[in-house]
Amino acid sequence: MNPLLQFGRKFRLVAFAAGCWLAAGAAAFAQAGGAGEKTEGSPPPYVIPYALVILCIGLGLAIVLNSAKRRERAKPEVYGEPK
Q: What are the pLDDT digits (tens) for 8-54?
A: 888 888 888 888 888 777 777 776 554 555 556 666 788 888 888 99
Distance of CA 62 to the CA centre of its chain: 6
For residue 83, the model assigns a pLDDT of 61
Region class of 33: left (phi > 0), else alpha (psi between -120 and 50), else beta:
left
Cα gap 57→49, rounded to integer Å? 12
Global pTM exceeds 0.75: no
Confidence of residue 68 (pLDDT cuts 50, 70, 90): low
Please tell me the distance from the alpha carbon of residue 8 to that of residue 1, in angstroms, as a whole number: 12
Domain parsing of the chain, residue ranges? 12-30+42-67
Residues 6+ apart with CB under 8 A from 45: none
